[in-house]
Structure 1
């Protein structure tokens, strides 16, 4: 009977670590796949084109798959985060906000961005035609970005209450950097260097999530 109870306890613990581990790998995989395409796709310019454009064209299925797999890993991490934070401050809202971010990525994968600014190769320069799919892509992605920025602040509040002041500052800085870079690209390219700043914001955000996952895995162990 004791052995049976031990196995029953191990299974939920292992599942929890697996969910948290999803948060470790989600960011590095997403960034690596996106950057590899950005540096090799004909006509793609990191300084001008958002990574969403990589889902357009003959090879767009690669970035679409990248969106979907990363979104599912993020939602899995959100489920693990809920258990890690319960009970306590942020146990409800942080997982919900991160889950909404993952859902926003799924929506962005379902509705690709509109071709514009010379990409894919052969597309005329300029903003291009605006379609319903392109509008939904921007709207769903934008909501997801706002949610994950809010999640950074919720996690910061949690750490402030539990004595993790370094993590509280790190989480606030990450949320502010990502939100600011998103607002810059949402301006429509009016701000010089906005696209590269958004790339930096994306890398910072995924780095934060990976490190947070590792921190929670260590605590769970």
Structure 2
């Protein structure tokens, strides 16, 4: 009487290869959104800035693009960019687990993501001649959604500034002086640019300075996401 053949061990990994670590794979994927969010937001904003009638990069901040018949594009841009930042914050929480800064860095980055989403949901008031037909100068009256836009944006920016400084402190504790200096400079420069735009001035130095600060902040988020991505072992390693 013949005996049935033994079933093949399908669960065994191929020779010389280790099974994929799903936790690591998800963590690295989430951190990837921290790299994508900034370029996505900047490119979408710049395309609108150079194609929409009446918009002046030297005198209008990008939040004003949420107004007008094509305002939905910037609204979607803010919401989607914020969602990507939130995904990156979850990735940071996973990547930093058990290390200095593991609680507050992800929370503060997540606060920035929430601020972006809410800034998209609550549209800024038209001002400084944009959209076309709007009187020159700041808005004479602030609507409820304009007020909430300012509050959400301000809270989000302060969260990211704090995240830069907390990450700088973490880096210093770990002996990473270069990262500590870079994070501190990023946070301070963004804070200065934010302080300038809160003055309400639409002068070129203030508006362009704020735009530069936003670019610096996005670059910092991307750089930190890349660092943590590289520090997280590959799933099959």
Q: If the length of structure 2 is used for normalisation, what is the TM-score?
A: 0.88
Aligned structure 1 segments of 4 or more residues deviating by more than 3 angstroms = none
2:142 counterpart of 1:130:
yes
Q: Is the 8 A contact 1:153 1:175 kept in 2?
A: yes
The aligned counterpart of 1:94 is 105
Moved more, 186-195 or 207-216: 186-195
* 1:2 shift after superposition: 5.8
CA distance in 1, matches of 2:83, 2:160: 15
- Report the number of matched residues: 218
Superposed, which structure 2 residues align to 1:29-178 within 5 Å?
Answer: 29-128=40-139, 129-178=141-190
Secondary structure class of the residue paired with 1:123: coil
CA distance in 1, matches of 2:167, 2:78: 24
Unaligned runs of 5+ in 1: none
CA distance in 2, matches of 1:165, 1:35: 34
CA distance in 1, matches of 2:96, 2:230: 14
* 1:163 shift after superposition: 1.5
* 1:207 shift after superposition: 0.8
CA distance in 1, matches of 2:158, 2:148: 15
Q: Is the 8 A contact 1:42 1:121 kept in 2?
A: yes
- Name the structure, 1 or 2, with higher relative contact order (CA <8 Å, separation 6+): 2
1:71-127 deviation digits (Å, cap 9, x = unpaired): 011001001111211212211011111101100111111100001111001111122
Superposed, which structure 2 residues align to 1:198-209 within 5 Å?
Answer: 198-209=210-221
Moved more, 79-88 or 106-115: 79-88
Q: Is the 8 A contact 1:184 1:191 kept in 2?
A: no
**Cα RMSD (Å) of the superposition?**
1.5
The aligned counterpart of 2:198 is 186
Q: Is the 8 A contact 2:59 2:202 kept in 1?
A: no
CA distance in 1, matches of 2:72, 2:134: 18
Unaligned runs of 5+ in 2: 1-10
Q: Is the 8 A contact 1:98 1:147 kept in 2?
A: yes
CA distance in 2, matches of 1:190, 1:203: 18
Q: Residues 56 and 152 from structure 1, CA distance in 2 versus in 1: closer, same or farther, beyond 3 angstroms?
A: same
Q: Is the 8 A contact 2:60 2:202 kept in 1?
A: no
Secondary structure class of the residue paired with 1:45: coil
Structure with the larger helix share: 1
2:43 counterpart of 1:22:
no
CA distance in 1, matches of 2:77, 2:152: 17
The aligned counterpart of 2:3 is none
